[in-house]
Amino acid sequence: VGPRAIVLGKAAQFTITALNQSDLPARDLNVRIGLPSWVQLSGAEPSTGSTRKQADASGIDQLVWTLDNLEARGRQQLTLKLMPIENRPFELAVDWALMPVSMQAQIQVQKPELEIALSGPKDLLFGQTETYTITVTNPGTGDAENVSVQLAAGKSAGKSHALGVIGAGQQRQIQVELTAQQAGQLELTALAAAEGGLETSANRTVQVRQARLEIEVAGPPLKFAGTVATYQVRVSNIGDAPADRIVAAVKLPSGSKHVPINDGPQPSAELTWNLGVLRPGADAVFNIGAQLLSPGENRLEVQVRGAADIAADRIVATRVEAIADLKLVVNDPKGPKPVGEEVVYEIEVTNRGTKAAEQINVVAQFSEGIEPVRAEGSQAELVPGQVLFHPIGRLEPGQKLTLKVTAKASTEGNHRFRAEVTCDQPETRLAAEDSTRYYKLDVPQLGSRTGGTIR
């Protein structure tokens, strides 16, 4: 509303009225007034809202009156003061724009979340089963569906356990058993996953302690067959956990015999020693005796076993050599003996060793005044003052050779008898000597008497 004619260079007042004729409020109402370039705006006073100048798409200035809210059946006014600066008519173009009424519905977005915690012992024994608790919490605003957890130990993936649905603000717990199969530091990882790509994890470093057994066996490197070898066995725990129910078993060399030793722990009939518990750094020592009978390498084996499948083995070898050991015994006749009577001298050669003696030579010698008559037990040659037995090829271990020489003394007195044994395998030289007294037997005779005969 305003005058239909105005004077050049003089301001005139115009009023623009915004009227809401509906029963609903009008939101974000914009009223645009076109201003020609030869008309100058000298004032704009809205009853409510705000005004601003802007150019339209063609570059013509516009005054924009903005009302945030125009109540139903409401009315507001904008007063303008316009002054023409050229003698030209103009049109006051007015239009308006209104944000359409829309309906809104608020949609709540729910977000599930997962948190996981792992609790349990920090120290484990190798081979021992422990229980760990996995706690899964949903601190989000939506349900976590198809939740599953697993406990991984080192590079070994654990078994998956299904927990189902965990509601918003709720938590679930599950206990998982773990058997430590790796000594030293072990990294445990608890993993949780749910639909929608939800994943979370928790780590825990534990120390797995393990008993470790070490065996030392001290024994002779060389023995002769039939002798007793003593072995000392030391069982040590070089690990960082106690070793329980330790039992040591000894396997003797083939063909040998166990010889009891009084000092130290004693074995059972099966040659086992119950050593009990060995703490870390502790040891147990026992001795064992064995009579070694077989030539060659004799291997003594020690096996130690304990709880949690701990074990250790050790073998020690002793070289056994067999030798022949000849013994010479001379049995002379019980004297004194009469001259001219045959007497027997006995020669005994015994192999006390563990190996056969070979190429045995036996010579019997007599002193002057006594000579051999014959020889028994082996072929022999008789020469003055001597009996030369033919070489005896072999005398087995434990075997005894008995030779007999019959002799006859021709003069009285002490006559010596000497036996000598030599052998190449093994190199042996033995001699034995004895003496026997011989006497001359006088036969008494009766003399003659004159005068008659005794009847």
Q: CA 324 to CA 358: how far, in whole Å?
A: 9
Q: CA 176 to CA 159: how far, in whole Å?
A: 9
Q: Note the pLDDT of residue 193.
A: 94
Q: Is the pLDDT of residue 366 over 90?
A: yes
Residue 166: CA count within 13 A, CB half-sphere: 29
Do 117 and 202 contact (CB within 8 A), yes or no?
yes
Mean pLDDT of all residues in 99-105: 60
Structure confidence at residue 346 as a pLDDT band (50, 70, 90): very high
Cα–Cα separations (whole angstroms), residue 385 to 204, 257, 363, 372: 101, 49, 11, 7
Q: Which residues contact 57 (CB under 8 A, 6 or more apart)?
A: none
Query: What order do you get walking across the sheet with 129-137 strand by strand?
Result: 115-119, 129-137, 171-179
**Range of lowest pLDDT (35-39, 222-226, 405-409, 435-439):** 35-39
Q: For the chain, list the domains and their CATH numbers.
A: 12-98 (2.60.40.1530), 115-209 (2.60.40.10), 213-321 (2.60.40.10), 326-439 (2.60.40.10)
Q: Percent of the chain scored above 70 by pLDDT?
A: 95
* CB burial string 124-160: b at 16+ within 10 A, e below: bbbbbeeebebbbbbebeebbeebebbbbbeeeebee
pTM (predicted TM-score): 0.58
Q: CA 198 to CA 192: how far, in whole Å?
A: 8
Q: Is the pLDDT of residue 271 over 70?
A: yes
Both structure tokens of 307: 């709880």
Query: Mind listing the pLDDT tens digit for each residue in 6-26?
Result: 878 788 888 888 888 888 888
Q: Is the pLDDT of residue 455 over 50?
A: no
Query: Which of helix, strand or coil describes residue 363?
Result: strand
Q: Is the pLDDT of residue 450 over 80?
A: no
Q: CA 122 to CA 132: how far, in whole Å?
A: 10
Q: Note the pLDDT of residue 410.
A: 95
Q: Which residue has the higher pLDDT, 253 or 78?
A: 253
Mean pLDDT of all residues in 33-49: 82
Do 148 and 232 contact (CB within 8 A), yes or no?
no
Query: Mind listing the pLDDT tens digit for each residue in 318-342?
Result: 999 999 999 999 999 987 999 999 9
Give the angle subtended at the CA of 451 by the CAs of 446 and 455, to the nearest 5°. 55
